[in-house]
């Protein structure tokens, strides 16, 4: 199991614990793999990717908090393949939001939400975990 920073790691930690998986949990930071890196910039506290196992020929469960356009998942797949070729990758998300731009669909979904394009949803946490839905006032504003 691999969680995508940050919200996906929080969800993956919870799932990993509930499922009592014996393998260690991987954590992926896709900051350098995003196709909008030059537009949004880099968070000043980028945490490294941690994969305490080989992905080669292994089934992987990739976990994220919210899937929207599919671009985060595309970036995560690119990074995973830099580490090797998994046998398979299944995608688990807490929230499946309308508005996909890429043909990427989750295999496991906590819930689906149809939100207007001027809405932004974010998992906040880690203690407690809660969803924050905000109205965007312009394309760069998330308040």
Distance from C-alpha of 99 to C-alpha of 85, rounded to nearest angstrom: 29
pLDDT tens sequence for the chain (143 residues): 999 999 999 999 999 999 999 999 999 999 877 665 555 555 555 678 999 999 999 999 999 999 999 999 999 999 999 999 999 999 999 999 999 999 999 999 999 999 999 999 999 999 999 999 999 886 555 44
pTM, two decimals, is: 0.89
The vertex-42 CA angle with 36 and 45, nearest 5°, equals 150
Cβ atoms of 62 and 11 within 8 Å: the answer is no
The full set of domains in the chain, from first to last, is 2-115 (3.40.50.2020)
The vertex-123 CA angle with 27 and 1, nearest 5°, equals 25
């Amino acid at each position: 199991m691999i969680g995508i920073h940050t919200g996906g790691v929080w969800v993956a930690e919870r799932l990993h614990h509930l499922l009592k998986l014996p393998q260690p949990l991987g954590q992926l930071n896709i900051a350098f793999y995003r196709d909008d890196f030059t537009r949004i910039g880099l968070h000043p506290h980028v945490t490294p990717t941690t994969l305490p196992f080989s992905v080669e020929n292994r089934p992987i469960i990739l976990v994220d908090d919210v899937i929207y356009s599919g671009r985060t998942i595309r970036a995560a797949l690119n990074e995973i393949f830099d580490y090797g070729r998994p046998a398979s990758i299944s995608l688990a998300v807490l929230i499946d939001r309308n508005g996909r731009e890429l043909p990427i669909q989750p295999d496991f979904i906590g819930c689906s939400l149809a939100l207007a394009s001027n809405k932004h949803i974010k998992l906040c946490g880690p203690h407690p975990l809660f969803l924050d839905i905000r109205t965007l006032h312009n394309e760069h504003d998330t308040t």
